[in-house]
Structure 1
């Protein structure tokens, strides 16, 4: 299923003779996307300096929102073993499809009172984004940690003799225990080097007990041997084994160790399942919250930039264009073709809102005053693309 892409556009009402949405629909073209009304409340307009500062803060917050949304999407995909379809099913906003939320967006007046100063609204949105981002990050880090622990325990049960737990394999009677001078070492030797080991282990280091080698176990890759040496030369013997690509295994007999390992594996498996459920639920919440915050941030961006571009009285139309990644360039081209003459609109206009020749050169200056999306090419009208993973 092809993913949707969205575009937010704001244009001054004075440039339209007829219904603005009808005109916008015709400009975009029904084959390129669906044009829908997008409601923007009347916020408190502060000073010009404050608006310019608001525009800068919103641009940065917009970038942070997109990063947070992307991280939640990656986390959901990761927890669902990379299954894109299953991850897509979790991407709901207020228990409804994300597309439905954006198409029917309404400013949350209870959560973000429109009569409050823009700076206060921006601060609230920023704090909410940081909180949900921290919560999601902490929970998914917790899940990642316990998943790694479980995988390590499972490898101990199912790996080869160079990695797996030796507790259920080694007979403690094979080990020299409680000796002041001697100790037994367990060495995992690649099976194709088995003969080399038997022939040479006694001369690898001084004070290796002759004929002390005992084969403990064998699998498809390794043979496990027990060898006894004097403690004073143990370090040298083990180092020589490593140089031969033979793997010394750490092992200490513990009464009931086999049962203890199994209980630990079962405990961690239960914990992993529990935290997986918590991470999935928080991932769903994280997606819903970050997308909602992003939509509100974009609404504020549209409002602030509309004021800066088109001036007062504030009469404009805002539309959401639902398109696709393949068609979005066609949408942009169509809009540019119809409205590029607005490039100098903030500085000088004729009665129809068209740029006078002397003001057209000022469009490049506008890009440096905070107009247009951060890091993107300057547009002659208010234009934002919404990219959701």
Structure 2
């Protein structure tokens, strides 16, 4: 199933002779996308300089929304890849349903507030949501890493796994003033070399003290006794031979304690996973709603900058696919490029042809927003896509 892409457009009401949305649907092309109404409230406008600054701030905020929603998508995938798409819901309904039925939340973002206040509010909310999702997801990854380390101790090879359930404490020299026992994991293919040379790689190794403790497919675990004075040298020589010294100290009830710790962390991982998934689902919902409100403000601000006052415009949402979006853009350019006026050159297809530097300077002189790096269009046009 192809992914959806959304396009926000705003056009002057005066250019339409017939019902605007039907006319726009004909321009877009029935096979290229679905044209949906998208109501944009009338906000407090303020000064032209403030509007230009708001346009820049909204472009940056839009980029932050895009990055935040991508991070939440990654979190949902990391938490439950099989159900990641099903978890991308807004108020427990599909994201597409929310955009189709979008209405400005005037309780949360009062339209009688200055645009600057609304933008700051949206910025704060986005940062809070982003931090909440990131914090809980990082907590889950930390617990998950801890659990994996404990599981490796139970299931790894003799060079890494816990020796508590393997080593019989009777094999160890304990409470001796001069001697101590070392446990060495030797690769199985080096077993003969170890038995032939362990007594001579360092001084004061107790002759014939090696005892095979355990064996798996990769390693054989030996116990070797040395004088404490030369223990450090013996262990270093073992490392040089690619034999792995294992740290081990017998603790009464250690085996049972390790299992209890494993069970505890497993329960914690399950609990934090559930919390992280709920936080990511909530984060997706909140960020999509925030992003939709940011896009609404972008459309409004850019509409005022381009078409001026009094406000009389038609705004719409086009649902399409990334592949068909190019055709939508081509059809819109073909029909509405004349809105650029005489200040913009056009080719035979009606597309703007002036170079970017000239275009940018003329737009700035006219008090028009250049946007956030996207190709300029002589009508209000913004693309919107979810990961």
Q: Give the TM interval when normalised to the shorter protein.
A: over 0.9
Secondary structure in structure 2 of the residue aligned to 1:114: coil
Query: Does 2:374 align with 1:365?
Result: no
Matches within 5 A, 1:216-295: 216-295=213-292
Query: 1:382 Cα deviation (Å)?
Result: 0.8
Query: Does 2:188 align with 1:191?
Result: yes
Residue in 2 aligned with 1:79?
Answer: 79
Instruction: Give per-residue Cα distances to partners, 1:269-303, cap 9 Å, x unaligned.
Output: 11111111101111110000000000000000000
Residue in 1 aligned with 2:15?
Answer: 15
- Choose the corresponding residue for 1:160, options 119, 139, 157: 157
Instruction: Give per-residue Cα distances to partners, 1:310-332, cap 9 Å, x unaligned.
Output: 11111111110000111111111
Mean alpha-carbon deviation: is it higher for 116-125 or for 178-187?
Answer: 178-187
Residue in 1 aligned with 2:376?
Answer: 378
Q: For 2:40 and 2:256, locate their aligned partners in 1 and report how far apart those are by CA, in whole Å.
A: 64
Q: For 1:28 and 1:46, locate their aligned partners in 2 and report how far apart those are by CA, in whole Å.
A: 33
Residue in 1 aligned with 2:202?
Answer: 205
4+ aligned runs moved over 4 Å, structure 1: 366-370
Is the 1:189–1:224 Cα contact (8 Å) retained in structure 2?
yes
Query: 1:343 Cα deviation (Å)?
Result: 2.2
Q: For 1:311 and 1:154, locate their aligned partners in 2 and report how far apart those are by CA, in whole Å.
A: 65
Residue in 1 aligned with 2:340?
Answer: 343
Is the 1:372–1:382 Cα contact (8 Å) retained in structure 2?
no
Is the 1:373–1:384 Cα contact (8 Å) retained in structure 2?
no
Q: For 2:69 and 2:368, locate their aligned partners in 1 and report how far apart those are by CA, in whole Å.
A: 24
Question: Structure 1-normalised TM-score?
Answer: 0.93
Query: Does 2:123 align with 1:126?
Result: yes
Root mean square deviation of aligned Cα: 2.0
Q: For 2:117 and 2:94, locate their aligned partners in 1 and report how far apart those are by CA, in whole Å.
A: 29
Equivalenced residue count is 378
Structure 2 gaps, min length 5 = 345-349
Instruction: Give per-residue Cα distances to partners, 1:9-55, cap 9 Å, x unaligned.
Output: 11111222222111110111010000011000000000001101111
Residue in 1 aligned with 2:347?
Answer: none
Secondary structure in structure 2 of the residue aligned to 1:291: helix
Instruction: Give per-residue Cα distances to partners, 1:208-228, cap 9 Å, x unaligned.
Output: 111111100001111001111
Is the 1:150–1:269 Cα contact (8 Å) retained in structure 2?
yes
Matches within 5 A, 1:10-159: 10-80=10-80, 82-83=81-82, 86-159=83-156
Secondary structure in structure 2 of the residue aligned to 1:196: helix
Secondary structure in structure 2 of the residue aligned to 1:122: helix
Mean alpha-carbon deviation: is it higher for 367-376 or for 9-18?
Answer: 367-376
Query: 1:336 Cα deviation (Å)?
Result: 1.2
Q: For 2:288 and 2:371, locate their aligned partners in 1 and report how far apart those are by CA, in whole Å.
A: 18
Q: For 1:103 and 1:133, locate their aligned partners in 2 and report how far apart those are by CA, in whole Å.
A: 25
Is the 1:367–1:378 Cα contact (8 Å) retained in structure 2?
no
Secondary structure in structure 2 of the residue aligned to 1:207: coil
Structure 1 gaps, min length 5 = 349-353
Instruction: Give per-residue Cα distances to partners, 1:334-365, cap 9 Å, x unaligned.
Output: 111111222248x79xxxxx99x99x996443
Question: Structure 2-normalised TM-score?
Answer: 0.94
Q: For 1:342 and 1:236, locate their aligned partners in 2 and report how far apart those are by CA, in whole Å.
A: 84
Is the 1:44–1:116 Cα contact (8 Å) retained in structure 2?
yes
Instruction: Give per-residue Cα distances to partners, 1:101-155, cap 9 Å, x unaligned.
Output: 0111100011100111000000111111111111111100100000000000011
Change (3 A) 1:366 1:201: farther
Is the 1:343–1:363 Cα contact (8 Å) retained in structure 2?
no
